[in-house]
Chain A
Amino acid sequence: MGGWAIAVHGGAGVDPNLPEERQELAKQLLTRCLDLGISALRASVPAIDVVELVVRELESDPLFNSGRGSALTEKGTVEMEASIMDGCGRRCGAVSGITTVKNPISLARLVMDKSPHSYLAFSGAEQFAKQQGVEIVDNDYFITEDNIGTLKLAKEASKILFEYRIPSTVGLDSCTLEAETPPLTMNGLPISVYAPETVGCVVVDSQGRCAAATSTGGLMNKMVGRIGDSPIIGAGTYACDACGVSCTGEGEAIIRGTLARDVAALMEYKGLNLQAAVDYVIENRLDQGKAGMIAVSSNGEVACGFNTVGMFRGFATENGFMEVGIWE
């Protein structure tokens, strides 16, 4: 046992009709992120730095729902949130309501390292960002054509989109549709109504130190000011001596189920191993909610679990194991 390990995710809940090209792009991005993380781990970079650098990469790429490519609020703006936790000492940092900071995960890191607090939000967080001299851009930078389109659809259906739930004009309540449903079109062109999720990375380095980081734009068509699970320590993100966990899916269900903390609590208080703890949480802590997670243990294990259709994910361990996947 032992050795370093890394897991990354680009969100749980994938449109079963997702076009091949997008699946390919997703796998390439996940692979690129894993490679970045692996090089750093081989160079003995500590877990806390590795999770930050990998999530920065995910934020900078518009493919997933974080940083550039973030889901839009009901007003068509972007409000991002992120959190990071260092298993050593369980130090943590989180931000919400970020509108101009290019890499929210790095701001979360600065909250942890350079402020007396754990969590800063909205204009206070933006002020702190300016003081710290982080890279600032216009809110437009984060907005993509894809997401403008998805927001329009969501508004037409007056729904907040969970995973890939396709809005229907028949007044269905939000439930997942079967894969046989034909793709929707906009202006005559078929588009994927994939409502993107969240990104995250968990790492254990060769010293056995665990860390976790999660970043997101939140739910498509969310109310302005809505905070989800990603910046909530114990819900979307958690790391301690035993493990590092990052979750994705329906934020409200993840918060209620204190998912990330529960994985660690099951290991600590019930003696479960990593995968058993992940399975238990997915099975028992979600009720009607849909979510997924990635986790690593101080022993160098990786695990994942999800009750959604698919989760964009990738894993690598020091003994050479490497895998990138979307479906079950």
Chain B
Amino acid sequence: MGGWAIALHGGAGDIPRSMPPERLKPREAALHYCLQIGVDALKAGQPPLDVVELVVRELENNPHFNAGKGSVLTSNGTVEMEACIMDGNTKRCGAVSGLTTVKNAISLARLVMEKTPHIYLAFDGAEAFAREQDVETIDSSHFITPENIERLKQAKVANRVQIDFTQPTQKVVEKASVLSLDSQDGTVGCVAVDGNGNLAAATSTGGLVNKMVGRIGDTPIIGAGTYANGYCAVSATGKGESIIRATVARDVAALMEYKGLSLKEAAAYVVEECAPKHTTGLIAVSAKGEVTMPFNTVGMFCACATEDGHSEVKIWPDDPLC
């Protein structure tokens, strides 16, 4: 065992199999592309912490996922982005919430980790720090896409916080109201390990459609949406409130450490037993170079690769897309 491994995701949720090709193809292509970037970086010997940041930046810049550009909107029609990064070796971490102008939230999270005595900065304080650090900021309108404006409209009509993969048609909104008890959350994330067992995790998101202004989800919560230590690195996605309650990311590692479960067993247990159905997906890699991507939602945009040549891009459970 051993060798590098990488996994990335673009969100778990009620991804309809009926999603039309023009919406599906760009997302699939992005997963392939980002996987390649991550694999190339690992092969070139870049540390996992740099690799996960780089892959998540790419996902943030892609308007088809709910992070950075393409973030879903708050009830006020604005974006409030959050992100988190963690280094397995040192357990150092950085998190940000409530960003409105920072182009790459994950990079600001990294700066919080490296350039402040703190772990977590939010809202005005985080934006002020971004300016001090001279990171790339851009007018908030940059992050807003027509698709998300439409989603927000639909959510308000249905008067509920919404699944962000549902398509903007009246029919599906009704279906959503009947099917879903609560909303789901898309997010992006990446976990990686190098041949020496160094692990890192990174997650970034715009949150829930029509969320209350100021709402914080699981993504920036160490142990919920993001976690890495000497055993594994985990990034979760789905319904933030459920992921927080089930301390999803921490529990995968805790099961490995305290109960001796393998990565696959631990991740499956958390997704199947600890979190309610239709709420959670995660990606995880272990120090030994294993990878797993379980989810209890309809689907999860995800991809992974390991040094032994295995490579996979997936959306639904029994679905080899690669």
Q: A residues engaging B (CB < 8 A)?
A: 90-92, 94, 96-97, 115-125, 127-128, 160, 222-228, 232-235, 238, 251-252, 255-258, 261-262, 265-266, 269-270, 287
**Chain A nearest CB, measured from B150 CB (Å):** 21
Which of chain B's residues 117-141 have a Cβ closer than 8 Å to chain A? 117-126, 128-129
The total of Cβ contacts below 8 Å across the A-B interface reads 148
Q: How far is the CA of A226 from the CA of B123 in the complex (A)?
A: 9
Which of chain B's residues 244-259 have a Cβ closer than 8 Å to chain A? 244-247, 250-251, 254-255, 258-259
Report yes or no: A256 in contact with B214, Cβ–Cβ below 8 A: no
Q: Which residue from chain B places its CB closest to the CB of A238 in the assembled complex?
A: B247
A-B contact pairs, 16 of them (CB 8 A): A94-B216, A119-B217, A120-B212, A123-B123, A127-B214, A128-B214, A225-B124, A225-B128, A226-B125, A227-B95, A227-B97, A233-B224, A234-B247, A235-B222, A269-B255, A287-B91
Known: A120-B214, A261-B247. A97 touches B224 (CB 8 A): no
Report yes or no: B93 in contact with A255, Cβ–Cβ below 8 A: yes
Q: How far is the CA of A255 from the CA of B247 in the complex (A)?
A: 12
Q: How far is the CA of A118 from the CA of B224 in the complex (A)?
A: 12
Report yes or no: B116 in contact with A121, Cβ–Cβ below 8 A: no
Residue in A118, A122, A227, A266 whose CB lies within 8 Å of B245: A118
Q: B residues engaging A (CB < 8 A)?
A: 91-93, 95, 97-98, 116-126, 128-129, 161, 182, 211-217, 221-224, 227, 240-241, 244-247, 250-251, 254-255, 258-259
* 5 further interface pairs, Cβ-Cβ under 8 Å (given A119-B217, A232-B223, A256-B119): A120-B214, A223-B121, A225-B122, A235-B223, A256-B91
**Chain B nearest CB, measured from A253 CB (Å):** 10
Report yes or no: A124 in contact with B214, Cβ–Cβ below 8 A: yes
Which has the most chain A C-beta neighbours within 10 Å: B93, B124, B258?
B258
Report yes or no: B118 in contact with A222, Cβ–Cβ below 8 A: yes
Q: How far is the CA of A270 from the CA of B251 in the complex (A)?
A: 13
Contacts of A255 in B (CB 8 A): 93, 119-120, 222
Report yes or no: B92 in contact with A117, Cβ–Cβ below 8 A: no
Q: How far is the CA of A102 from the CA of B98 in the complex (A)?
A: 23
Report yes or no: A97 in contact with B161, Cβ–Cβ below 8 A: no
Residue in A117, A121, A262 whose CB lies within 8 Å of B122: A121
Q: How far is the CA of A287 from the CA of B230 in the complex (A)?
A: 14
Residue in A120, A222, A256, A261 whose CB lies within 8 Å of B215: A120
Report yes or no: A233 in contact with B245, Cβ–Cβ below 8 A: yes
Report yes or no: B128 in contact with A224, Cβ–Cβ below 8 A: yes
Contacts of A118 in B (CB 8 A): 216, 240-241, 244-245
Report yes or no: B125 in contact with A223, Cβ–Cβ below 8 A: yes
Contacts of A91 in B (CB 8 A): 245
**Chain B nearest CB, measured from A263 CB (Å):** 11
Residue in B120, B182, B247, B251 whose CB lies within 8 Å of A116: B182
Residue in A90, A269, A287 whose CB lies within 8 Å of B258: A269
Q: How far is the CA of A96 from the CA of B215 in the complex (A)?
A: 10
Contacts of A270 in B (CB 8 A): 258-259
Contacts of A90 in B (CB 8 A): 245-246
**Chain A nearest CB, measured from B83 CB (Å):** 14
Contacts of A160 in B (CB 8 A): 117
Which has the most chain A C-beta neighbours within 10 Å: B117, B129, B213, B223?
B223
